[in-house]
Amino acid sequence: MRERFANHFDPFVIPFLVGMAFVLGYYLIGMIRVILQLPKADRKRFLLTLITPKYIWMNIRDIFLNCLIHVKLWKRNRVLGYMHSSIAFGWFMIILLGHLEVILFVPERIHLFYYPIFFNYFVAETEQTIQGSLLMFLMDFFLLMILSGIAIAIIKRFASRIVGMRRTTRLSLLDQVGLYSLWSIFPLRLLAESFTAHISGGSFLTIPANWIFRQFLGNDLNALPTWWAYSIALGVFMCVLPFTRYMHIPAEMLLIPMRNAGIRIRHPRKGFALLEVYSCPACGVCIDACPMSVRKVNCKDATVYLNRQLRRGNERRIEEISDKCLLCGKCTAVCQVGVQGPELRMAQRARRKYALSPSYSGINVRPMAAAVAHGAGGDSGGVLYFAGCMTKLTPSIRRATTSLLDKAGVRWQMMDPEEGLCCGRPLMMAGRSEQARELIAKNAEIIRASGCDTLLLSCPICYKIFKEEYRLDGIRVVHHSVFFEELIEAGRLKVRRNGDLKLVYHDPCELGRGCGVYEEPRKALAAAGELVEAGKHHAESICCGGSLGSLTLGFEQRRPMTQNALDNLTVADPDQIVTACPLCFSTFVHAADRPVRDIAEILDSQS
């Protein structure tokens, strides 16, 4: 090995150095800002995890798996997974190997930032060593890997369907600059290294390329411009990076430790939310996933565009996108970075100013509390069934639920036989959590008065908030689908299986993605009939379109979403569509071409 230049410098490294300094400075300041914006308790918690060995290991593992290997994307789409991991991992390896070369051959130059990047320009290989050729081989290997990834990226940009995406994001101008400079970095590196390969050495890519070029170019002076071009491409990319979607690369490295520390979104524009917004790689997977996207006009309301508008500060659009969303959570389920679209929107809704704010302090719940306390005969234990607002409009669900309770010999009583209060979840979704808290306090008073040990819900909307936000000291909160599955399991509920009855189960958003309940309803249904799956199911099930999450979508706009969800449910041609949510039920019942039932109805009719 021999260094080619005594001063170890050439002006062509300046664009790279400028870019590097800029991006590092920007990232450092941004990182500190985000950490400072966290509420004090969150900040303390986060910083503590950074020095806890368990978390350190978790963070390293998650950063490696997500930022470099893109495991989540691999599971979703192999072509896209390969594309991203080849670029990210390949680039990482080239940087790592560059440093290794410097450490091995010219350790005294390690303080020069640009040396590992432009190693082959500054250092010439004078003799063939196994060590040297192995490193050269690996360099070419990873460069080839990146180039193949770039090739897929180019195909994807111009024909997204080939890689299995129906829609991809429309890029802003700066994103385009970032994209094209990123694309050009690696072919330029190949060119630059090829021009110097007969001096500095190379491997299976660069040496043949060098040979070809020398056939008709032959002039070593061509080398320097290509190294300039390579450096400029790097410099441009790094200078525009903070203003493009590529900010996700550094942002995600902070997002992962923060998420591991259990930090939540508390403000739509600050701290953790800001980090999520910048971590969005704008890949556009959420566009296809979003149930609203069946209407072309709503494609622009996917989470990727919310993130973009939040970065731009376009208030009108932020408000529009935030209010329209169904809060079904599917974008989060498919997002490789895990951007919490619904939480971002709810935080945004919570910032809204109102001229009039409801208050429920005047509502006296004592009569309702007394009614349940009396109904239980002062006994403790037993099940308190809260049907909730939506189940009032679906008497079949309420009737089937109470009938099953009787069949299983469960001691139960109704929490809202006549009037009842709302659970508070719809207010929460509208961003009015202060009001929701008032309702939570009132309902909790009634529940405690009942002396029950189990609170049974047939509505997942209620279930989610009772489970997450109510403090009911020891009272079990359970959804009817889970409760009945347990009763079947325990042999208290005898269900006859009708093998000719083909059922498909629709995962309600609030129950599935919202509370992670997927298997119990399926198990219960499998005991009653033949269970088939929808096209998309479990965490990827499609919202019925009736969600209370959306504040602005009108009935007519929701209709195509409902139809789309039904089309997805009927791919296996089931006899009946089964759900476990009164809102999904009511939404489907008018639009479906076959019977729609609640899980309780199926179990009741088969027992």
Pick the closer one to other proteins by CB: 175 or 598. Answer: 598
First-residue to last-residue Cα distance in the chain:
82
Pick the closer one to other proteins by CB: 425 or 479. Answer: 425
Report how far residue 214's alpha carbon sits from residue 508's, in angstroms, rounded to the nearest whole number: 65
Nearest one of 417, 338, 342, 404 to 375, comparing CA atoms: 417
Q: At what angle do helices 303-312 and 341-350 cross, to 10 degrees?
A: 50
Pick the closer one to other proteins by CB: 474 or 554. Answer: 554
Pick the closer one to other proteins by CB: 357 or 380. Answer: 357
Pick the closer one to other proteins by CB: 426 or 508. Answer: 426
Q: How far is the CB of 119 from other proteins (least distance, A)?
A: 57
Q: How far is the CB of 594 from other proteins (least distance, A)?
A: 12
Pick the closer one to other proteins by CB: 257 or 424. Answer: 424
Q: How far is the CB of 497 from other proteins (least distance, A)?
A: 24
Instruction: Find all residues with CB under 8 Å of 314, minimum gap 6, and list them.
Output: none
Q: How far is the CB of 112 from other proteins (least distance, A)?
A: 54
DSSP 291-323: GGGGSGGGGGGSHHHHHHHHHHT-HHHHHHHHH
In DSSP terms, 598 is beta-bridged to 579
Pick the closer one to other proteins by CB: 7 or 364. Answer: 364
Q: How far is the CB of 55 from other proteins (least distance, A)?
A: 39
Pick the closer one to other proteins by CB: 94 or 440. Answer: 440
Q: How far is the CB of 569 from other proteins (least distance, A)?
A: 18
Pick the closer one to other proteins by CB: 221 or 355. Answer: 355
Instruction: Find all residues with CB under 8 Å of 221, minimum gap 6, and list them.
Output: none
DSSP 431-466: T-HHHHHHHHHHHHHHHHHHT-SEEEES-HHHHHHH
Q: Are 184 and 150 in contact (CB under 8 A)?
A: no
Q: How far is the CB of 383 from other proteins (least distance, A)?
A: 19
Q: Are 399 and 370 in contact (CB under 8 A)?
A: no
Q: How far is the CB of 446 from other proteins (least distance, A)?
A: 14
Q: How far is the CB of 372 from other proteins (least distance, A)?
A: 17
Contact footprint for other proteins (CB under 8 A):
323, 352-360, 362-363, 389-390, 392-396, 399, 419-422, 424, 426-427, 430, 432, 435, 439, 548, 551-556, 583, 585-586, 589-591
* Cα separations in angstroms, 56 against 52, 61, 251: 6, 9, 17
Q: How far is the CB of 45 from other proteins (least distance, A)?
A: 33
Report how far residue 210's alpha carbon sits from residue 102's, in angstroms, rounded to the nearest whole number: 23
Instruction: Find all residues with CB under 8 Å of 89, minimum gap 6, and list them.
Output: 68, 69, 145
Report how far residue 466's alpha carbon sits from residue 448's, in angstroms, rounded to the nearest whole number: 13
Pick the closer one to other proteins by CB: 35 or 591. Answer: 591
Buried b (16+ CB within 10 A) or exposed e, 112-131: bebbbbbbbbbbbbeeeeee
Q: Is 40 exposed, middle or buried (0-12, 13-18, 19+ CB in 10 A)?
A: exposed
Nearest one of 586, 498, 574 to 547, comparing CA atoms: 586
